[in-house]
Amino acid sequence: MISKHTIDLIFETARVEEVIGDFVQLKKSGSNYKGLSPFSDERTPSFMVSPAKQIWKDFSSGKGGNAVSFLMEHEHFSYPEALRFLAKKYNIEIEETEVSVEQQQEIDQRESLFVVSDYANKYFQEILFTNPKGIAIGLSYFKERGYREEIIKKFQLGYCLDEWDNFTITALANGFEKEYLEKTGLTIVKDDKQFDRFKGRVMFPIHSMSGRVLGFGGRTLSSEKNIAKYVNSPESEIYHKSHILYGIFQAKKEIVKEDTCYLVEGYTDVISLHQAGIENVVASSGTALTPEQIRLIRRLTNNITVLFDGDAAGIKAAIRGIDLILEEGMNVRVLMFPDGDDPDSFAKKVSTDELKSFLIENAKDFINFKVALLLEDAKSDPVKKAALIRDIVSSIAKIQDNIQREIYVQECAHLMHISEEVLFNELAQLHKKELKELHGVSIPDKKQFKVLKAPTSEETQETYLQFLEREIVKLLLLHGNTKLDFIDWIDHHDENGKYIQKEVVNNNTVFEEIYLQLQTDEIEFTHELFRMIYFEIIRLFQENEKIQSEALVNHEILEIAREVTNILMEDEKYIIGDWNKREVYVKPKTHDKEVVKSVTDCILNLRRNLVNKKITELKNQLKEIELDNNQEHIEMIMKYKGLEMMLSDKLGREV
């Protein structure tokens, strides 16, 4: 693990404007920089970088954070990968924390597998481009398929010589251990013999999301029937084929930009589509689609279009994949190529514009796809038609969003000429069956879909409470260290015994004022994220006697870092549009009196909201108790009503 000292040094050294400047063209805008969003297609800049705060905000997508979070969002690195990338960029030596002998051995072994795979990848590429046999056999094969040299290099394609152990001997001579050559599957060891797994094959390296080589696919160039056409690396500590998609590294940026992913079956489909200008495409590499592969795509987009040729096996695979994609909460469309074509062959037949038009115009919603595919055979047979309807309903049942699911029911009813009520009943039966299988219990018949109700008063209170909690966090982040005069009222009796409230002025920091007021009323945050941020602010103040927002922007919990960044960059959205040039003038910097009023109002509103919530609880209890036992509840309600009126009076509002 990377030590805390190294992580702190990386954050101290890395400059957010320099890191982002490697990926986005930034222009100076006052004390900040702005540019076009790398996460959406736009013409007017909505992307802002603040060197002073060392944070960025993309107002078009809502994303934001620090240098590390940018790399995680844009390059889809994991947190450690982003840290290592920055350490390399700024020549920072990574110090690892102490781990057990077993843990270190595991880390070393895993890293050794990556090193061996990387070496093999470079070796196969070198053979392809410099070895006479590699050029004559491997490179000529790729060029015969129509691949240009730049696309061959983009996907790092290679060739393994048709010799028993040329690669293995070369790797051993370069200091690599046979143990790791065997564990990656590059070398097969039997007794005292060894030979190259990919002998005589053109090579397709398989990359992780961040670009590390995990394994290989190798295609034979032999025409012998007893030789497998494709061979993949075996499962290892770094290669799990059900968790990997071919081409994800090369496609990830375009998937995010286009907000959709094309899913194909093989390596050559991906490469041919890339060469034709369709770069947001990945392949399941001949394996049945898995939930893990779908979730990998979901990190980049919620939209998948499955592309396949029209053979029977392809159709069955597409139908199975549809339900899996729906179960993962994603939107799915399906496209079938003309008879005799697959993505690879079709991409070579047409121009880029024709290909793009074909993909847009022929992609079908999964219901329309199933109906078009199966209805012709079923429409004259009532039993087959009923089975088709049940098949479609079973797919609809996997959709998680209630509104989307109801729309699909309406669409299915229209296409199949059947009532919505029948389809809803079928969905309800499927739901009952699923619950029984999961929990072993039966549930009474009940219509599964209801009209969405307006939010209750309790739900409205809950939403307002979260708004107030966020406002408190915002005040602490923006003004927590500022010392101001706050007015408080103390219960007091005058010399005649009359009850009055005496005004007292306290000179506190904004943090001290908010903390003391919340502690006095034992108020706890209800929203998990705002509670975490609040406790982190308390910890920072206790350790340093001030709030350091940069510590929260660089927080290891990404949800905290993102929300703090959102709050700190809210005012920058007015700067991004050059409003002054349009004679629209932004509100000037907040004055001390406004901060005091905001803090006071926020705390009073928070108290009033909690009092109102208590009144609602007491009223609900009142409905459930006997009439002759309700006097105590009524008195309690009246007391809380009085407290609510007092708070409203302080706020200058009427109840």
Residue-by-residue DSSP string for 499-557: EEEEEEEEEEEHHHHHHHHHHHTT----SHHHHHHHHHHHHHHHHHSS--HHHHHT-SS
Nearest by Cα to 160 from 196, 214, 212: 196
Token representation of residue 198: 């990919």
What whole-number distance in Å separates Cα of residue 216 and Cα of residue 213? Answer: 8
Residue 300 near residue 376 (C-beta atoms within 8 A): no
Whether the pLDDT of residue 555 is over 50: the answer is yes
Average pLDDT, the chain: 83
pLDDT attached to residue 103: 65
Q: What is the 3-state secondary structure (H, E, C) of 188-201?
A: EEECCEEEECCCCE
* pLDDT value of position 386: 87
User: Do 370 and 393 contact (CB within 8 A), yes or no?
Assistant: no
For the cut 70, the answer to whether the pLDDT of residue 150 exceeds it is yes
Amino acid at 64: G
d(CA 643, CA 612): 10
| pLDDT reported for residue 311 | 66
State yes or no: pLDDT of 447 exceeds 70: no
CATH code for the domain defined by 101-239: 3.90.980.10
Lowest mean pLDDT among 195-204, 484-493, 559-568: 484-493
Q: How far is CA 566 from CA 1, 411, 562, 573, in A?
A: 29, 39, 6, 11
| 127 neighbors 142 (Cβ within 8 angstroms) | no
What order of strands is seen across the sheet that includes strand 47-50? 27-29, 32-35, 47-50, 55-58, 64-65
Lowest mean pLDDT among 151-155, 242-246, 615-619: 615-619
Task: Say if residues 449 and 405 touch (Cβ distance below 8 Å).
Answer: yes
499 pLDDT band, cuts 50/70/90, is low
**pLDDT at 584 (0 to 100):** 47
pLDDT score, position 451: 42
Tell me: pLDDT of 452 over 50.
Answer: no
Over its C-alpha atoms, the chain yields an Rg (Å, rounded) of: 32
**Residue 431 and residue 398: Cα distance in Å, rounded?**
10
| Residue of higher predicted confidence among 23 and 273 | 273
pLDDT at 166: 96
Q: What is the mean pLDDT of residues 170-186?
A: 95
Q: What is the pLDDT of residues 268-304, one digit of tens each?
A: 999 999 999 999 999 987 678 898 899 888 878 889 9
The pLDDT, as a whole number, for residue 383 is: 85
Average pLDDT over residues 328-357: 90
**Count of all residues that appear for the chain in the document:** 655
Whether residue 162 is predicted with pLDDT greater than 70 in this model: the reply is: yes
What does the pLDDT average to over 38-64?
A: 84
pLDDT exceeds cutoff 90 at 363: yes
Once rounded to an integer, what is the mean pLDDT over residues 326-350? 89
CATH fold of 4-89 reads: DNA Primase; Chain A (3.90.580)
Q: How far apart are CA 453 and CA 446, in angstroms?
A: 17
pTM: 0.64
Which whole number is the average pLDDT over 582-603? 70
- Helices (H) then strands (E): counts for the chain: 28, 18
Q: What is the H or E stretch that residue 334 is in?
A: strand 331-336
Q: Count of alpha carbons within 13 Å of 175, Cβ hemisphere only?
A: 3
Residue 286 has what pLDDT? Answer: 66
Question: Is the pLDDT confidence value at 619 over 80?
Answer: no
Question: For tokens 């001030």, what's the residue?
Answer: 546
pLDDT at 578 over 60: no
Q: Tell me if 88 sits within 8 A of 82, measured CB to CB.
A: no
Phi, psi of 268 (to 5 degrees): -65, -30
- Please report the pLDDT score of residue 629 as a whole number: 60
CA dihedral 169, 171, 174, 179 (to 10 degrees): -100
For residue 450, the model assigns a pLDDT of: 42
The CA distance from 435 to 17, in Å, is 52
Looking at the chain, which residues constitute the CATH 3.90.980.10 domain(s)?
101-239
* Domain limits, CATH 3.40.1360.10, in the chain: 243-360
**Residue 404 burial (CB count, 10 A):** 14
pLDDT at 315 over 80: no
In degrees, to the nearest 5, what angle opens at C-alpha 290 toward C-alphas 286 and 293? 90
Check if the beta carbon of residue 83 is closer than 8 Å to that of residue 68.
Answer: yes
Q: Which residues are CB-neighbours of 432 under 8 A, at least 6 positions away?
A: 442, 443, 445
Rounded-to-integer distance, Cα 135 and Cα 564, Å: 55
| Average pLDDT of the segment spanning 586-601 | 74
Predicted pLDDT of residue 376: 67
Per CATH, domain 243-360 is 3.40.50.2000: no
Instruction: Give the per-residue pLDDT at 654.
Output: 38
Does 493 have pLDDT greater than 70? no
What is the model's pLDDT at position 448?
43
DSSP string, 267-285: HHHHHHHHHTT--SEEE-T
Are 611 and 643 in contact by the 8 Å Cβ rule? The answer is: yes
Mean pLDDT for 602-631 is 72
Encoded tokens for 254: 């375009």
Burial 577-608 (b: 16+ CB within 10 A, else e): beeeeeeeeeeeeeeeeebbebbbbbbbbbbb
Contact 183, 195 (CB under 8 A): no
Q: Are 293 and 170 in contact (CB under 8 A)?
A: no
CATH 3.90.580.10 region(s) of the chain? 4-89
Site of tokens 């008879």: 339
Residue type (1 letter), 92: I
pLDDT at position 436, please? 60
User: In the chain, what is the greatest distance between 2 CA atoms, to the nearest angstrom?
Assistant: 111
C-beta atoms surrounding 152 within 10 Å: 21
Binned at pLDDT 50, 70 and 90, residue 307 comes out as: very high
Task: Answer whether residue 636 shows pLDDT above 80.
Answer: no
At 260, is the pLDDT very low, low, confident or very high (cuts 50, 70, 90)? very high
* Joined tokens for residue 421: 């009520």
Which residues lie closer than 8 Å to 228 by C-beta, 6 or more apart? 220
Confidence of residue 577 (pLDDT cuts 50, 70, 90): low
Q: Which of 62-71, 234-243, 248-257, 546-555 has the lowest mean pLDDT?
A: 546-555
pLDDT of residue 387: 85
Q: What is the mean pLDDT of residues 408-425?
A: 87
Query: What sign for the dihedral angle of Cα 146, 148, 151, 156?
Result: positive
